[in-house]
Structures are given as structure tokens and as C-alpha cells.
Amino acid sequence: MYYIVTGAAGFIGANLVRALNARGITRIIAVDDLTQADKFGNLTDCELADYLDKQEFLDMIEHGQFDGGIEAILHQGACSDTMESDGRYMMANNYRYSLSLLNFCQDQEVPLLYASSAAVYGGSQEFREEREFEAPLNVYGYSKFLFDQIVRRRLASADFSSPVAGFRYFNVYGPRESHKGRMASVAFHHFNQYRDSGKVRLFEGSGGYAHGEQRRDFVYVDDVVKVNMAFLDSGTSGIYNLGTGRAQSFNELAVATANACRALEGKPALPLAELVAAGTIEYIPFPEALKGKYQSFTQADLTQLRQAGYHDEFATVEQGVATYVNWLAR
């Protein structure tokens, strides 16, 4: 019996493969699309049974070659570029792909854990797993939203034969994301900005927020992995927010990154005002392309996650960024 991890060479997928390996599980089939070949580096320290291209995997599913042979599917494969304008590509890659795996898992009685996204909430100020708060601002968010609705309807009708758990990831950051380029986390970009120029850059105020005071729920990837593993063990079904439950400002993130970098240089931590005065943190104009498509505030409501039995605490930005900067600086 094999574990399948889709998007396995990607950010969260590779971290999940590592977590399975840490449990002694090596019968893992990694599924991905290596058109962007440099992602392979995320898997070089992982133990796998096999690697399959995404289309090859789907063809094998369709022709019954995995019938009776899969223990669980951890589905992380998706186009996560929120600026992608090709809706046909986005829907095929995110929605239709996910639906094929859902149907297979239900037919084969195989647990499915999948990546949803906080992008389903769009400009909402409420982040609860309820239809009234879901209004995606881009086709990426819509592709995740539409699949969540299919899952929600099946769960409500009891029309499912095995566990299905979807996780609405908020702003995830941490090791193995460098291949994402401009879509990598703010923490990743801040580290590289500081290394290259000794300063980090933030957007000026927007949406009624002062410079750098837009707030997001930043969640460290290790916590994301822990939640996935807990639900893999419990077999609990549902759609759940996966964030920290805390909104922290981009200023806080920038301060945490700058001070973690300063610590590596043997320099003391400084407060925001002093970092701004020294030019270590600077503000740049808000991009025109993001106006009307930007979430200035996110904060996961963890009520459903806690009720499902997950009670571990999540790292703060200060804790997670310090760990991440040390990893990046290796």
C-alpha cells in the first residue's frame, strides 16, 4: 500500500513527505509536474518509492492501476499563483484534478487530505468555514472555493465512504519554498532583501491601513504539517481553517526577520521605529495590479479545528521567523 503526495516537490508537499519519512514511511509515490525542474531539490533528502508526473498519475488512476493499492492521498498539487489569469488552466489544474481524486478516493475508500486556501474568503472580514463568508477575489480562490462546495455537499449528505479533510491554508511560510519565486512568502523575500541590501521592503498603507499595518495570519509550515498528520491519524472529515488564529502585521513580520538576521550578525534587536529610522525597513508604493484583489486582513477562526480535536499551539511570527531565518542561513 502506498501513500500518495501530490505536489510533492512543492513547498507543503515536500514537507509532508519529510513528515511521513520521519514516521518511518517510505512507500510514498511523489506526484508533481516538474516543468519547473528546480523543484526537484525539495525531494533530494526524502525517501520515495516512486515519482510520477501528474498526468501519468491521473491516467493510471483512470485505468485502475492503483485500485486497492493506496493507503491515503495527501493532495497538495495546485496552481497557487493568485495572479494567474488563465481561468481554464486554473480550473483544470485545481478544481477538476481535485474532483478526480475525490471520486477515486470515495470509490476506493481511501482517505483524502487536501489543500484548500484562505483565498476562498476574498475580502471578507470574517474567516469562518461558512458559505456566507466566502467570496473569492480571483480565479485561484474560486477554484478552491468550488471544490470545497462539492466536498461540503457530499459530507452533508453523508455521501462519502472514507475520510475527507480540506485545510484552508492561510499565509504559510517556512523551509522548501524557494522555488516559488514571487509567490514565496514575505518572510522568504525579506530574508533575501536583507541579505542583498541590508533592508527589507513593505507596501505603503492601503485599504485604510497605515504603512505596513496590513495584517495576515502567518502560519509556520511545521504547524501545517502537524495538523495534516493529526488528521491523517484521526480520520476526521470536514473543511477547516489552518492558521494560527492570530493576525499579525507585516511590520511585525519585517521586524522579526530583520532582528533574526541581525542576531546572526551579532547585533542587538531593535524596535520598529528604530529599524525604520535606520532605513532597515522601508515602504514602497502599493502595486496597482493588486488593488481590489488584496486581502488586507486575515485571521483564521479556529473554532472548527479545535472542536475537531486539534489543540496544539501555533508558532507566533517571532518564533517561526527566527527558526526559518536560521534554516535559510545554513
The question of whether 180 is a catalytic residue gets the answer yes
- 17-22 long-range contacts (CB < 8 A, ≥24 apart) are 17/43, 17/46, 17/48, 18/45, 18/46, 18/225, 19/225, 19/228, 19/229, 21/46, 21/47
Contact present, 206 and 250 (Cβ < 8 Å)? no
| Edge-to-edge strand ranges of the sheet holding 50-53 | 50-53, 28-32, 2-6, 70-75, 112-117, 164-169, 238-242
Catalytic residue among 95, 114, 140, 194: 140
Among the listed residues 180, 199, 226, 293, the single catalytic one is 180
The three three-digit cell numbers of residue 105, written as one number:
478516493
CB 87 within 8 A of CB 139: yes
Is residue 194 flagged as an active site residue?
A: no
Provide the 10 A C-beta neighbour count for residue 233.
9
Active site residues: 140, 180
